[in-house]
């Protein structure tokens, strides 16, 4: 558990993601009396999906900050157990703990793990119980989930058990794509904070890093830091990080989301009858990705 002071304003750029988060999730959560007046239940949760390293976890933490809630990060692959019944029990324990510590954001990371593990573990339908348990715990009618906000994340939405995606469950989805220009600048700034730097034109670096993920940009900063530190060790005096260090580092780091985009594109093109991948396909078209 951690109590982060992260807010949506710390999430750089990504204007669309933030405004959709605000209208479809945060505003109703912050206004229970309006929900009641309009008879909207708060069952279910929100699924964040997209390529690795692009801010899903970061955004989930910012949501917790906005709601002034505790943040629990649960990697679902760790919860799944090979022993019959243990996975279900683990899930119950996690939700009980979340209810005891409300208000909190329960962040279910890697929700696709259930779908993936189904074929690996106990053969065939063994994961049905896990899915049912998860649905039962999420269901506000049978549990007092007041103040438990459920966010989930995945890189592979096509592997998620479809029962989890039906209305009233993880029925709101939000695509989190590689950072746009202002997001890239914010990410660079974040990762250089507290380090010795000369006057840097981060907007310029951001312009030259289209296609890099948040995680790639973190790597750029690490690499640039290493160059400056090595030089400092040689001379024995601190030599701040320069534009040149960053420029060199940008050349070293290759975009990491290529393979993801490729497989996502395939799934999206052939499984979009209900329009669930519209956002991704529009982005692919807009960025002229072949
Ligand atoms: N818009 C943003 N503003 C500031 N920092 C960001 C932003 N997006 C991503 N980051 C930074 O990028 C890094 C990667 O983000 P994060 O871990 O949230 O990705 P993820 O989508 O959860 O990846 P994975 O699918 O691998 O779990 C983090 O260090 C985070 O601080
Ligand atoms: Mg993550």
Judge whether 36 and 127 are in contact, CB under 8 Å.
no
Beta strand residue intervals within 120-232, DSSP E: 148-154, 172-175
Q: What is the distance between the alpha carbons of residues 116 and 126, in angstroms, rounded to a whole number?
A: 12
Judge whether 130 and 36 are in contact, CB under 8 Å.
no
Arithmetic mean of pLDDT over the chain? 89
List all residues 6 or more positions away from 221 whose beta carbon is below 8 Å from its beta carbon. Answer: 188, 191, 192, 246, 249
pLDDT tens digit sequence for 46-95: 999 999 999 999 999 999 999 999 999 999 888 887 777 888 999 999 99
What pLDDT score does 82 carry?
A: 74
Ligand 1: residue whose CA is nearest its atom 8: 55
Residue 3 has pLDDT above 50, yes or no: no
- Of all ligands present, the nearest one to the C-alpha of 59 is 1
How remote is the CA of residue 176 from the centroid of ligand 1, in Å? 10
Q: At what angle do helices 258-270 and 278-286 cross, to 10 degrees?
A: 130
**61: burial class by Cβ within 10 Å (0-12, 13-18, 19+)?**
buried
In this prediction, what percent of the chain has a pLDDT beyond 90?
Answer: 57
Q: Could you identify the residue written with the tokens 């296609």? A: 211
What pLDDT score does 126 carry?
A: 65
Give the angle subtended at the CA of 67 by the CAs of 71 and 135, to the nearest 5°: 60
Name the most confidently modeled range: 111-125, 153-167, 169-183, 232-246.
Answer: 232-246
What pLDDT score does 240 carry?
A: 98
Task: Give residue ranges with CB within 6 A of ligand 1.
Answer: 11-14, 52-58, 155, 176, 179, 183, 186-187, 190, 214-215, 218
Q: What is the distance between the alpha carbons of residues 26 and 23, in angstroms, rounded to a whole number?
A: 6
| CATH no. of 181-252 | 1.10.8.60
How sure is the predictor about 116, in pLDDT bands with cuts at 50, 70 and 90?
low
What pLDDT score does 39 carry?
A: 82
In this prediction, what percent of the chain has a pLDDT beyond 70?
Answer: 93
Select the CATH number that applies to the domain covering 8-175 from these four: 1.20.120.1200, 3.10.20.30, 3.40.50.300, 3.30.420.40: 3.40.50.300
For a ligand 1 pocket test, name from 5, 17, 57 the mutation site with the most ligand atoms within 8 angstroms of its C-beta: 57
pLDDT tens digit sequence for 144-192: 888 899 999 999 999 888 888 888 788 889 999 999 999 999 999 999 9
How remote is the CA of residue 233 from the centroid of ligand 2, in Å? 34
How remote is the CA of residue 18 from the centroid of ligand 2, in Å? 17
Q: Could you identify the residue written with the tokens 């993920």? A: 213
If one compares 124 and 86, the residue with the highest pLDDT of the two is 86
Q: How far is CA 199 from CA 190, 202, 240, in A?
A: 15, 9, 9
Q: What pTM was estimated for this model as a whole?
A: 0.88
Name the most confidently modeled range: 4-18, 123-137, 230-244, 252-266.
Answer: 230-244
What are the residue boundaries of the structural domains of the chain, listed by start?
Answer: 8-175, 181-252
What pLDDT score does 101 carry?
A: 94
How sure is the predictor about 118, in pLDDT bands with cuts at 50, 70 and 90?
low
Q: What is the distance between the alpha carbons of residues 275 and 266, in angstroms, rounded to a whole number?
A: 14
If one compares 4 and 35, the residue with the highest pLDDT of the two is 35
């Amino acid at each position: 558990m951690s109590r982060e002071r992260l807010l949506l304003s710390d999430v750089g750029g990504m204007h669309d993601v933030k405004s959709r988060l605000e209208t479809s999730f945060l505003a109703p959560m912050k206004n229970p009396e309006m929900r009641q007046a309009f008879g909207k239940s708060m069952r279910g949760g929100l699924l964040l999906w997209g390529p690795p390293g692009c801010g899903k976890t970061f955004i989930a933490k910012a949501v917790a900050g906005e709601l002034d809630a505790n943040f629990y990060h649960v990697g679902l692959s760790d919860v799944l157990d090979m022993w019959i019944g243990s996975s279900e029990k683990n899930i119950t324990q996690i939700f009980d703990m979340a209810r005891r510590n409300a208000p909190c954001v329960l962040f279910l990371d890697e929700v696709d793990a259930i779908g993936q593990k189904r074929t690996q573990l106990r053969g065939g339908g063994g994961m049905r119980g896990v899915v049912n348990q998860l649905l039962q715990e999420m269901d506000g009618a049978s549990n007092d989930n007041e103040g438990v906000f459920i966010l989930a994340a995945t890189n592979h939405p096509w592997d998620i058990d479809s029962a989890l995606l039906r209305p009233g469950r993880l029925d709101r989805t939000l695509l989190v794509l590689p950072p746009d220009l202002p997001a890239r600048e914010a990410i660079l700034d974040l990762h250089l904070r507290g380090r010795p730097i000369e006057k840097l034109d981060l907007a310029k670096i951001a312009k030259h890093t289209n296609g890099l993920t948040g995680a790639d940009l973190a790597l750029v900063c690490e690499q640039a830091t290493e160059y400056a530190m090595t030089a400092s060790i040689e001379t024995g005096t601190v030599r701040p990080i320069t534009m040149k260090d960053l420029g060199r580092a940008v050349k070293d780091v290759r975009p990491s989301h290529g393979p993801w985009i490729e497989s996502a594109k395939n799934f999206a093109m052939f499984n979009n009858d209900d329009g669930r991948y519209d956002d991704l396909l529009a982005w692919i078209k807009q960025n002229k990705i072949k």
